[in-house]
Structure 1
């Protein structure tokens, strides 16, 4: 996605044993941020001779609820695109690998480095990463996967989700990982996934894994490696898909409007005659042709990235499942990936 806007990118090297720090800044556009690597970051802060493996890297911005650890060069760009693309400035924090996360502790240099970052960024209300203490909560709810009391799981197999405003909910790690993977493979954006536990009265208790829940709870703590792996894989696909959709909107001026009509017809297929006539007139097994989209545009829509392959692969799988269930009616697939609906409210 073309973006000529520049963002103040501050690189902060700090450590727990010292009051000294190194702060460097660059004005980078999207391409500049995409080109960043751990090696180049270390070079800019005067540690170019060192190995990135000796350091931990974190990204923080004014709109983020917690710093996100960066595990690969690519994660720098992905974290920026997902969380802080519209922010005025970002800070990449570099600490020795043996030091704790900025989410759990401040370095002695924190007050002075914050003063300098405010000066460099021009943002007087810029804040340090909010230090969050480990929260232990009890829950009487049951695990949705096993129907066992969640508190019967060992502490090492539980995750406490910080929902904000002093609210917390506890889930088993195995359930969260399994459900997140299942929903992501269906095309549900990571930040729209809803997880569930069961109350003692048998009622569902739902929690949406918003961006803030991911940063505050899943991308930090003892299980962050497992969730970071999922986040990295599906964020790469999400960013690619967003760029592809933006490209379609730019290339085909009718795409946005016709997509809204297409989505509305899918929803009203069984109740409104015109919403049935238009899809059937396409003579396309997925109802993607004229009068909605040209053949050229249909081809590009079907190549939109969607884990583990493309939208074409995802819809083929849905058609296969529909056939296996013996459904031979003309009704369109109503479980289209949620991402297709998101850009066209």
Structure 2
């Protein structure tokens, strides 16, 4: 993880590349400049002296040292959302601009690559300016079996294979059909995209499990001949994540004990079956899905239900879960908690590590009276967020697709 960078120190480079010529246009600004002026896709074209101002004729990417791959920017709103997720602590951020029909910088390098990189490093004066990772050529496919058809992967047509780079020269190959079917089924069950685990069957019957982490997505799934099948899933994940984190940041600013309330809520859901007091607190909310006091008041509940998800909002996911479990019971620990954990950004493993201390705190739970230390931590996090973006309110939900729209400086 890159070290914390003060907003005034962070450099932004705007690089317009020509895939047929060694010429390029590159400009630089500080984050402070961008905070003052705001930034849109159309601005990126103006900065690089582009004669054509039609953003739909170009592809825009953002990259920094915390990112395993460049992420494509599909709208003005995606610039801020992606910055918030990946780049805020990094010393240098680069915006790359190519023609819309050119290959991605994740799979190809322009003739000007070395010269533009050298210029960025010279101007940055020691700051980390990373190269974008180019996946090495796959020299082999694994000898595994397809878990759905039980056929050797080697017998599958090349156009139907997807090879994941695991690092260290290691690869694993799957069928495209298996990956897409499994990923979509897990997403329907509310599983976060980067928490999905796929399986590979060895010839000797051994099952190998592989987590589709953010690195796997960026290094492998959004590159190569199969990227058109997986890139929409990745872009949608980042769009929803950026919008969700903006709303959660706003809730943390408005509600001093919000972070602690979320952790307490997840703790009780996970321990519902074996903890009488957890059941009493959850049942006492009087809400079908336990969204109530002592965890969240009515206003907070309404804001939570509007948090965006892949299927629409949290309210949408809860309704779909109720329909799916119609005629049966909804399990607090196995149905509701994973869904809420993904939406609230709470990791149960970390909450569980608090063990007895958390249990004792909750034995006389009053979420309107948290420790001053917790309030200070939340307040400090909110101040850092506000300072970095010069913000007073929550962020709006971004929209996919091209187009520039009107520029706003309020979010910066």
For residue 134 of structure 1, give the secondary structure of its aligned residue in structure 2.
coil
Query: How much has 1:16 moved relative to structure 2?
Result: 4.3
Q: Secondary structure at the match of 2:334?
A: coil
Q: Does 1:181 align with 2:180?
A: no
User: In structure 1, what is the Cα distance between the partners aligned to 2:213 and 2:52?
Assistant: 39
Instruction: Give the counterpart of 2:92 among 70, 89, 93.
Output: 89
CA contact (8 A) 1:282 1:288 kept: yes
Question: Displacement, 1:14?
Answer: 2.6
Aligned to 1:12, the other structure's residue is in SS state: strand
Partner of 2:143: 140
Tell me whether 1:65 sits opposite 2:68 in the alignment. Answer: yes
Q: Deviations over 1:180-232 (max 9, x none)?
A: 22222333222222122222344432111112111111122122222221122
Q: Can you give the 5+ residue segments of structure 1 that lack an aligned partner in the other structure?
A: none
Report the alpha carbon displacement of residue 283 of structure 1 after superposing the two structures with TM.
Answer: 2.2
Q: Which residue of 2 aligns with 1:36?
A: 40
Equivalent position SS for 1:168: strand
Query: Does residue 339 of structure 1 match 2:349?
Result: no
**Paired position in structure 1 for 2:51:** 48
- Report the alpha carbon displacement of residue 77 of structure 1 after superposing the two structures with TM: 4.5
The TM-score, its normalising length taken from structure 1, stands at 0.85
319, 322, 326: which one aligns with 1:323: 326
Pairs aligned (count): 338
Q: Secondary structure of 1:312's match?
A: helix
Deviations 1:272-320 (A, max 9, x none): 2212221122222212222222122222222221221211221122223
Structure 2 regions of 5+ residues with no counterpart?
1-5, 351-412
Does the 8 Å CA contact 1:15/1:99 hold for their aligned counterparts?
A: no
Tell me what 1:122 maps to. 125
Stretch moving more, 160-169 or 312-321: 312-321
Q: How does 1:186-225 map to 2 (within 5 A)?
A: 186-225=189-228
* 2:260 is equivalent to residue 257 of structure 1: yes
Distance, in Å, in 2 between the alignment partners of 1:10 and 1:269 is 51
- Asked whether the 8 Å contact 1:34–1:76 carries over to 2, the reply is no
Matched residues in 2 for 1:105 and 1:173: separation? 23
Q: 1:100 to 1:274 in 2, by over 3 A?
A: closer
Distance 2:317 2:129 in 1: 43
Q: Distance in 2 between matches of 1:218 and 1:44?
A: 32
Distance 1:266 1:152 in 2: 46
Partner of 1:163: 166
Distance 2:274 2:90 in 1: 44
Q: Report the 3-state secondary structure (helix = DSSP H, G, I; strand = E; otherwise coil) of the residue aligned with 1:18.
A: coil
Matched, 1:231 2:234: yes
Secondary structure class of the residue paired with 1:143: coil
Q: Is contact 2:272-2:333 (8 Å) kept?
A: no
Corresponding residue SS for 1:92? strand
Alignment of 1:105-116 (within 5 A): 105-116=108-119
Residue 160 of structure 1, CA deviation: 0.9
Instruction: Return the alpha-carbon distance in structure 1 between the equivalents of residues 52 and 232 of structure 2.
Output: 28
Q: Deviations over 1:21-60 (max 9, x none)?
A: 21112234787898421x4322221223265555444332
TM-score normalised according to structure 2 size: 0.73
